[in-house]
Structure 1
Amino acid sequence: MAPSNASARRAASSPAANIFLFLLAFRILNAFTVRTFFQPDEFFQSLEPAWQIAFGKDQGAWVTWEWRHQLRSSIHPLLFAAVYKTADLLATTLQLPSATRAELLIAGPKTAQAVVSAIGDFYTWKLATRIYGKDSRGAWTTRRWEDLARREHRADKGQLLVTILNPWQWFCSTRTLSNCLETTVTIVALDLWPWQWAAGSLSDGSRKDGRGTVEDRALLSSIRKCLLLAALACILRPTNILIWATLASFALLRTSWGNRMILVREVLICGSAVLAVSAVADRLFYGFWTFPPLRFLYFNIAQSLAVFYGRNDWHYYLSQGFPLLLTTALPFALWGLYQTLTFRTFSVSDRLQTETRIQLAVICLVMPFVLSLISHKEVRFIYPLLPSLHILAAPPLVQYFSPVIYYRSSHAYTPQRLLLIFFIFANVVIAFYTSVLHASGSLNILTYLRRQHEVHANGQKASVFSSASTANGITAGFLMPCHSTPWRSHLVYPTIDAWALSCEPPIGLTETEKAVYRDEADQFYDDPAQFLRDNMAGGLRHLPRRPSYVSPPDLAHPESQHPWPDYLIFFEQLEPTLQTLLRGSSYGECWRTYNTAWHDDWRRRGDIIAWCLDTTEQDNWRETQRRSRSTNTREFHLDRMIDAIKNEASRAQPKKGWKAFLPSASFSYPWSPSQPTFAAKFASWRRAVKAYFAPRPSSFWTLGRPAPNIRDLVPRWSSLRSYLPERPAWLGGKSRKKILERELWS
């Protein structure tokens, strides 16, 4: 029996291992596809303090006010600090160049977060498998919802499909936000939670001896792992306690007295252990004893500092939160919630599954309700609920779309089939736009600055860990709303001396002072001219003429003022203002990148532009733009010529029989048995035109010859006409030249 049991275990674990490997590869691809900016906390609450932990305080990390006031736990940055140290050790061992080392340091956190995301997806599938059963093939043919509720057809696979195709999951799960780690830790803990206690049932395979089922070693080990992870989630985000307080209430009310004692005992033990580890980590990070969760609640609730970052309507999570999380799966999730909270089963075998789904539905309602009482709201605050919503949305989705797969040849389910195609297409388009295009300039501009630093480092070896005082690099200033781009995690080189507008909250001020408080970014956008006069070294009268890597600036300035940088970065919305204020200065455009087609913040609209002091870079950029416009113009005219030739050939080709009534023409139709096909002539003519317009060598432009013009083709048209077919006599020869010239030059 032992060998057969081992074989059965291997057979059962093989599909799970394959699914995990697939999810891991999928999320790694996901992580390196996401090239857009979402929330500043993705970098400033994880990667920036991690950079400081790994490399020291002199390496240029931007540590925000939350860390100076001990609002955050250091456990999350410690994870990425270990990743940074590992990547640095690997680069040192392999003796990688500085540019390659910088790319490795950027890719390390992405890879780590991809693994975390894959684990979350895998345990969501595991919990769905536990709830809906490993096999229920009979539901393929059932039409009644009551039968489907008892035997959901592969609802675990439906949940897996929903998770993979969810645009929000693609957009957010591989980002280094604490909410993403919180979501993964929460779903792993939910898979280990003793659901049978709240259902009032016994654990599977447990012993019914005098000590009771709670003494089963496997169950007790599972409970301890669950509570340790739940405590970690609450340390990461204190609001996560709403989930576990709700589940603990179910368990304490429905289980036996002995189980209650066990649960209370394990909560105290596991919670104390996690708090002790967190306290030691924070002591090492901050240098003194502190308790970040308590300070987080004090600053954000007692002092209402969260309101400083925006207020939202009470229905925000209903009108925007759930739709953004679920997108096309929203109707199925709502129906799943309704069906779960109103459905009852009397079968003993289904009772545990039903109670589990009910508890998941309850936490999906309790957490948004409580968080709606707080003025400041964000979608990512309820992100830990998304796996549970996916599980609840799976049965209605499978019920609705399963006939499309089962009855493939039937036309009765064409509407469902078209709707499924539309859902998949919409999800793919949304995921692509948000992860590749929208707000992509915030990361592209830092890539540009890194490359410029590698070029202008005064011939020095651009070491990643060189001290800013011993190496000379470029300087950059960001006239943007605060935290509009990542920082040292993407600048990498500490010798890039950069500054940006800040937005410190009104800490320690009275209510009257808070009402009129304006941070540095607000002051700049209120009056850019006055801000630059008062807060820039030299004001608007003494501006540098050459970049700092050519000649260091002689002008000393107080710490309260910003120095004029080599590269000035801003959004396109600000371009007319700066053109007026800096007219006559040495600043000029040297790079521009697309950011977004629209933005809800008027200050962040348009492209991201880089102005620099280096006139050589400005000239190179202007030449690049001129060549790009010239190339686009030539391609435009060439396309118009080709379209004109096609239209002319379409009208000139004779048609016989019923084909005379068709508007289209075939380019391979021979004009006569002895002549070559028009397709061959047209291909030869197109090669001749492309050769004429091909880019010339650099010497062509330096000899003073003008760029080729489309009208230069006129003297050569006689040679090109030989490639065109003769117009039939019944159309007349003279009209051919008039029509052709009119379409070419119109």
Structure 2
Amino acid sequence: MENIRTRFKFGNTADDVRLRRRKSQLYAKEDASRFNSGVLRISVFAVAFRLLNCFLVQSSFVPDEYWQSLEVSHRMVFNYGYLTWEWKEGIRGFTYPLFFALVYKILHYINYDSVNLLIWLPRIVQALLAAFADVKFYFFTRTLENDDVAKWTFFCHLCSWFTFYCCTRTLTNSMEATLTSLALFYFPLPGSKTCSSKKYLTLVAMAVLIRPTALIIWFPLLMYHFWKDDNKLRLITHNYIPIGVLTLVVSTVIDCIFYEKWTLVQMNFLRFNVFHGVAEFYGSHPWHWYFTQGFAVVIGPHLPLFIHGCIIASKRYRVLLVTVLWTIVVYSFLPHKEFRFIYPVLPFCMVFCGISLSSLKTWRRHVAYCLLVTNLLPALYTGLVHQRGALDVMKHLQTLCDTTSSTTRPQPDILFLMPCHSTPFYSHLHCPVKMRFLECPPDLGQEGYVDESELFFRDPLHWLRVSFPDLYSLPTHLLLFDVLEKEISVFLQENKYVKTAAIFHTHFAEGRLGGSIFIYERH
């Protein structure tokens, strides 16, 4: 007993207290070192994965990927190119194109503005931002759940075929999804240890600045934050109003500089797309489309896990589920619908998928394997095969840039006989050759209006003969989908056009979009 008492007394001496304090400091440093090492590993993996993701996506998705970003940026820096009707009417903001214009300007300044760098560097930048958002998303779930749930949620997020397909593209929707993931990290969800009102509101404001419809997603979350906050007046006066006003002022200044007149883009966007229904000109779907098709395609094979996760998730995640449902419902009221519009809700969905997968215990590795395979196939097919012709054809046209300085060959004059905006334009060519495409601005109130693209496809042969009545007015090169070739074959033969390239585009030809793109050159 005496020895035991002695040991206990010894354990309470000043030396032992200092020793225990020293050990606790060492343990804290070791924990911090282990945490930093984990952050580094996750970060390196995310960057490597998204860069690989970037280079494995070699297809086109929608025209806005180029015409609302890179084409505008190219014109801002190099002073030639084409601006679509949205930029003439002032319904698009210059903030997002300015981001890539700065990249272009740096390349131009150091004399490294090669066409390949102009194409790939903006996408690499987008990939790096997506990787940063991936890391933040992982640590967001780790602050709310244990490490096991965080890892499976991160796995589900990286597996998503639609995220793989979209996140490295230069789409405003891609940047909106990236900023949404970053803002979610700082959002004051119950149990979160990283919440910061100013940071998340700044990121939300940036998302709305780039794409005004981001407010649809964040509206229920903003209302939830307001309802839960103890000091509502301070939240409004110190966060909501200052951040909102500052963002609007910065946006308006940028737009007024580049439009060279007073322009409030957000008001114009609302007026054209909601009050005048201009977006409906580009197609409409039934109200239930997102519920019956859109959401199922975007979430893909994750759907069963998402439904299961919604059932078993704790109450604090209800606001995320409400946000997903709210977004789908609101977008369902808009006649023009696209898969990419609801892409930014995927991070919310992945939280539920991760909770579901981690709860399966015995079966989760088998389910994870199935999830990986079923997402990998559509990710690789849509990234490497489907609709790649729109980009591959621009590589063929790049060879024509060498003839612009030639005096023996006629200067290239390229006409795209395709649905408007089917391919990129000068951002993927980077030389001022003469190019023209069939234009399709919407009806802005002109009586009996029919756009040029529609007029052409009503009677292609007649349109060509009227537009080019003599040999001197003929383009040197024609680009068309294979489905049009037979209809204008007489015109091609009469004017000595020869097919010089046939480029695969898609296995799923539909309407005016064919399976291959043909290049005809006049001899």
Q: Judge same fold: TM > 0.5, yes or no.
A: yes
Is 1:173 equivalent to 2:167 in the alignment? yes
Residues 35 and 572 of structure 1, relative CA distance in 2, 3 Å threshold? same
The partner residue of 2:75 within 52, 66, 73 is 52
Q: Which amino acid counterpart does residue 240 of structure 1 have in structure 2?
A: A
Q: How does 1:522-533 map to 2 (within 5 A)?
A: 522-533=454-465
Q: Distance in 2 between matches of 1:165 and 1:106?
A: 26
Is 1:476 equivalent to 2:414 in the alignment? yes
Deviation readout 1:187-226 (Å, 9 max, x if unpaired): 1111112224xxxx8x86xxxxxxxxxxxxx96xx21111
Contact in 2 for aligned 1:437/1:596 (Cα 8 Å)? yes
Q: Distance in 1 between matches of 2:28 and 2:484?
A: 70
Contact in 2 for aligned 1:475/1:498 (Cα 8 Å)? yes
Q: Give the stretch that moved more between structures: 11-20 or 62-71.
A: 11-20
Is 1:396 equivalent to 2:334 in the alignment? no
The partner residue of 1:294 within 263, 267, 283 is 267
State the secondary structure of the residue aligned to 2:440: coil
Q: How does 1:136-175 map to 2 (within 5 A)?
A: 154-175=148-169
Q: Which amino acid counterpart does residue 246 of structure 2 have in structure 1?
A: A
Gap runs ≥5 in structure 1: 93-97, 136-153, 205-217, 344-353, 407-416, 461-470, 544-554, 556-562, 615-746
Residues 263 and 3 of structure 1, relative CA distance in 2, 3 Å threshold? farther
Q: How far has the Cα of 1:404 moved from its partner?
A: 4.1
Is 1:231 equivalent to 2:169 in the alignment? no
Q: Distance in 2 between matches of 1:338 and 1:502?
A: 49
Q: Distance in 1 between matches of 2:248 and 2:28?
A: 41
Contact in 2 for aligned 1:83/1:112 (Cα 8 Å)? no
Deviation readout 1:44-72 (Å, 9 max, x if unpaired): 0011111112222xx2x211111111111
Deviation readout 1:696-733 (Å, 9 max, x if unpaired): xxxxxxxxxxxxxxxxxxxxxxxxxxxxxxxxxxxxxx
Deviation readout 1:84-134 (Å, 9 max, x if unpaired): 112223444xxxxx8xx221221211111111211222222122212213x
State the secondary structure of the residue aligned to 2:436: strand
Q: How far has the Cα of 1:43 moved from its partner?
A: 0.3
1:604 corresponds to which residue?
513
Q: How far has the Cα of 1:565 moved from its partner?
A: 1.5
Is 1:588 equivalent to 2:498 in the alignment? yes
1:20 corresponds to which residue?
43
Contact in 2 for aligned 1:87/1:108 (Cα 8 Å)? no
Q: Distance in 2 between matches of 1:472 and 1:20?
A: 52
Is 1:521 equivalent to 2:453 in the alignment? yes
1:265 corresponds to which residue?
238
Q: Which amino acid counterpart does residue 219 of structure 2 have in structure 1?
A: A
Q: Distance in 2 between matches of 1:317 and 1:264?
A: 37
2:329 corresponds to which residue?
369
1:446 corresponds to which residue?
394
Contact in 2 for aligned 1:477/1:564 (Cα 8 Å)? no
Q: Which amino acid counterpart does residue 188 of structure 2 have in structure 1?
A: P
Contact in 2 for aligned 1:20/1:119 (Cα 8 Å)? yes
Contact in 2 for aligned 1:481/1:501 (Cα 8 Å)? yes
Q: Distance in 1 between matches of 2:436 and 2:61?
A: 21
Is 1:485 equivalent to 2:423 in the alignment? yes
Q: How far has the Cα of 1:499 moved from its partner?
A: 0.3
1:431 corresponds to which residue?
379
Q: Which amino acid counterpart does residue 481 of structure 1 have in structure 2?
A: P
Larger-gyration structure (1/2)? 1
State the secondary structure of the residue aligned to 1:71: coil
Q: Which amino acid counterpart does residue 362 of structure 2 have in structure 1?
A: P
State the secondary structure of the residue aligned to 2:502: strand
The two structures, once aligned, show a CA RMSD in angstroms of 2.2
Q: Distance in 1 between matches of 2:462 and 2:302?
A: 50
State the secondary structure of the residue aligned to 1:176: coil
2:406 corresponds to which residue?
458
The partner residue of 1:38 within 61, 79, 89 is 61
1:537 corresponds to which residue?
468
Q: Distance in 1 between matches of 2:297 and 2:450?
A: 31
Q: Distance in 2 between matches of 1:405 and 1:251?
A: 34
Q: Distance in 1 between matches of 2:403 and 2:46?
A: 39
Contact in 2 for aligned 1:333/1:392 (Cα 8 Å)? yes
The partner residue of 2:137 within 100, 124, 133 is 124
1:274 corresponds to which residue?
247
1:501 corresponds to which residue?
438
State the secondary structure of the residue aligned to 1:523: helix
Contact in 1 for aligned 2:324/2:349 (Cα 8 Å)? yes
Deviation readout 1:256-288 (Å, 9 max, x if unpaired): 2x2553344311111111111111111111112
Residues 337 and 459 of structure 1, relative CA distance in 2, 3 Å threshold? farther
1:77 corresponds to which residue?
97
State the secondary structure of the residue aligned to 1:573: helix
Q: Distance in 1 between matches of 2:235 and 2:381?
A: 50
Contact in 1 for aligned 2:176/2:211 (Cα 8 Å)? yes
The partner residue of 2:341 within 378, 381, 405 is 381
Q: Distance in 2 between matches of 1:103 and 1:248?
A: 42
Contact in 2 for aligned 1:457/1:472 (Cα 8 Å)? no
TM-score calculated relative to the size of structure 2: 0.90
1:659 corresponds to which residue?
none
Contact in 2 for aligned 1:88/1:105 (Cα 8 Å)? no
Q: Distance in 2 between matches of 1:90 and 1:3?
A: 49
2:11 corresponds to which residue?
none
Aligned residues: 500
The partner residue of 1:564 within 447, 450, 474 is 474
State the secondary structure of the residue aligned to 1:583: helix
State the secondary structure of the residue aligned to 2:441: coil
Q: Distance in 1 between matches of 2:213 and 2:73?
A: 23
Q: How far has the Cα of 1:75 moved from its partner?
A: 0.8
Q: How far has the Cα of 1:457 moved from its partner?
A: 4.0
1:617 corresponds to which residue?
none
Q: Distance in 2 between matches of 1:105 and 1:281?
A: 23
Q: Distance in 1 between matches of 2:27 and 2:205?
A: 39
Gap runs ≥5 in structure 2: 1-21
Q: Which amino acid counterpart does residue 47 of structure 1 have in structure 2?
A: L
Deviation readout 1:244-265 (Å, 9 max, x if unpaired): 3211222232332x25533443
